[in-house]
Structure 1
């Protein structure tokens, strides 16, 4: 297949949806020679902060001289973002070649009466093949959904697992209580490995500790009391964590401090199991880490921010970031969200900060909530709400209302933030306002 044929193939198999379980994945990978068994993984699960944490860890390891694969989802700007080596995306040629290989394996499976793998399973298999070909020293692997039955959990050679803060999300798939969700997320933990966890609610932490004990794993937990000298900013933030003095990061959002602290705790754990990571590499990697879509400033004048807040916990920290960075400023929202998200909780938390709200329907997604329906929910909490028929219309209206002093924030789902970014950047280039 060429690149276009490969993309059509992947889009076509998206109809198989999301299916939890490892049977298909195991069958497919065995036929592909189990490329994942040749790799060493740092496996990440949790609810919020997985992508940012992955960016910190993989950039630090790259700065330390390692060849580092990273596997992420969803992506914002290009399909190839999900599979990277040392921050370079998989080439279109390599993607096409591996799609062709995997498609032949799937044909054999289906001909034998076996279930067709999902698109996420196929993408994960392609990632493993590419990381093996690129001779990665380590792969930083982000789960797609949950942990225990997520396709990424087929790996058996993890050297370390990291669990970010767990909150209530995807409850239809992962469980109705925090304990059940934590049990699913902790499903990535492999016997006799090292586990690092960020701040957790007591119910979640109890589950993680129990799994670590059962599997004879050591467990490192971040120490919030060791965080001092915090300085917030949209372009530069600084903090001290234990012996890591004046650590600087470039990612914005008040929640990036806890994410960065978890990354430092992970670095300490990696050093503890034998990885050579000089202090200089840590400082460079933390500062140079880039992760778009989490309180990312895409235009400075006027300020335009994109944020993938799509659950209650993320909405709480989004609101906290707005209060911290923009006190007294008028805030204009563009919001689009999936129907299966806790959109009313998100709205309730963010509504008090809004001057005006524009709702949109996230394009080309069956899970998207109708803009008018979303606006009706907003009107229960805010008096100034309107809908936009297109993303272009939403951007134009928000920038018109915000003027020079207002701040626009697009949030609710990651799925439309790449398109929003392109629209804003195109307008900025034409107007010379960036």
Structure 2
């Protein structure tokens, strides 16, 4: 069968959607073969590689903003996205354009066809997307690429890179048990697989067993090592709109991301930027300019409407802490959607006691979503067991849930959508249409660099 040439963005997305049906496989052999077919574009680039359980995207946002402010042509590659598919590949905050994306998908598709003709394993969709990102960053002559792992570290497709200037670790907790490892130490060892010989290693403060794993790996590979010191944070001001703090004698550092955990992410980026020798005033500017939609983001003010991608127990604990810090005693109306392969029961145990009303929804990924009815059943069983006074309704469609929550909310109430990043973009678009107001950041960032 003759291969169909990809010309348009729509055709590119159709091709990738078809590839995605074959699932994902951990390992580096296939991505290595694919990139070799494409001339190994990653070998011309320099990287900051980020791994961890929670906070990877936020630290990536801070570092991308800091290095752009420092004059570096800075690429960044993330997954999953919130506002749009092309959000995953950016340079200095601007998304790759549809036309350029289609061109690169066609180039990669030709390489995949050559691999298949030689009897080699076909790449997964994540491997193809990773290759597209590297081709784009090479084409655009990026000085530095801030790269986030997809799953784990050692065998993640992003770990094919070798010219790593710094390996950065956000908080590591139990995540993808059985895939990355069966203990916290095994999971940490998997993620520590991104450490390359002689690179700088910067880590958030970790549990003792994780600390030791990272320390040992860094020592074995001859790397310098810095751990953050959260006890040296002094909060000067905090609201749900942002925070000002000092760290290690540097005063009045401001970020526009709310939540105490964001201070931990910010100091991780601060330590990494300092290790690169970035001037203090540039670090300050970059931290303040950093944006990261879907992390305790305000999208409307009346009623106050927040979205947060908390999709595991650790993230749910941090979300609850933020709600109790900024909105004690407020009536909380929740919209909740989860993947069935996530620890949604643990998330529910943490979040349900704060809520007065919950609307459950189906996620866009119909293969992985826990149906709204199934999630409602889980929440009903939990509220009966715990004696909670909360109403739960299966809304199904995201738009329906937003309409119901908006109709239910008084001026002093809080609406919160959480449980997965994958549907928050749809929540934001529905809220804009239904409530006619939007806070936060500009959405339309696409355009060729």
Normalised to the residue count of structure 1, the TM-score between the two structures is 0.96
**Conservation of the 8 A alpha-carbon contact between 1:371 and 1:387:** yes
Question: 3-state DSSP class of the match of 2:174?
Answer: coil
Whole-Å separation in 1 of the counterparts to 2:311 and 2:358: 16
Counterpart of 1:302 in structure 2 is 303
Write the distance in 2 (CA, Å) between the matches of 1:192 and 1:283: 28
* Alignment pair present for 1:398 and 2:398: no
Quick check: 1:417 aligned with 2:388?
no
Does the aligned pair in 1 maintain the 2:403–2:434 contact within 8 Å? no
Secondary structure of 2:253's partner?
A: strand
Q: Give the CA deviation at 1:269.
A: 1.4
Counterpart for residue 376 of structure 1: 377
Separation in 2 of the partners of 1:244 and 1:103?
Answer: 49
- Residue 279 of structure 1: aligned partner: 280
The Cα shift of 1:296 comes to 0.5
1:241·1:261 contact (CA, 8 Å) conserved in 2?
A: yes
d(CA) in 1 for partners of 2:365, 2:33: 31
Show the counterpart of 1:358.
Answer: 359
Which residue of 2 is the match for residue 149 of structure 1?
A: 155
* Aligned twin of 2:120: 114
Alpha-carbon displacement from aligned partner over 1:103-133 (angstroms, at most 9, x marks no partner): 0010011111111100000000000000011
Note the C-alpha offset of 1:164.
Answer: 0.4
- What secondary structure, in the 3-state scheme, does the structure 2 residue paired with 1:405 have? coil
Give the superposition deviation at 1:197: 0.4
Partner of 2:332: 331
Distance 1:365 1:282 in 2: 41
Q: Matches of 2:281 and 2:365 in 1, distance apart?
A: 44
The RMSD of aligned alpha carbons is 1.2
Alignment partner, residue 132 of structure 1: 138
Q: Is the 8 A contact 2:168 2:203 kept in 1?
A: yes
CA shift digits 1:262-305 (9 cap, x unpaired): 1111111111xxxxx22221111111100001100011111111
Note the 1:308-347 alignment, pairs <5 A: 308-347=309-348
Q: How many residues are aligned here? A: 427
In structure 1, C-alpha distance between the alignment counterparts of 2:165 and 2:243, rounded to whole Å:
30
Indicate conservation of the 8 Å contact 2:150/2:157, yes or no: yes
Q: Does 2:285 align with 1:288?
A: no
Deviation at 1:428, TM superposition (A): 2.4
Q: Distance in 1 between matches of 2:291 and 2:184?
A: 30
CA contact (8 A) 1:301 1:433 kept: no
Quote the offset at 1:243 in angstroms.
2.8
What residue number does 1:247 align with? 253
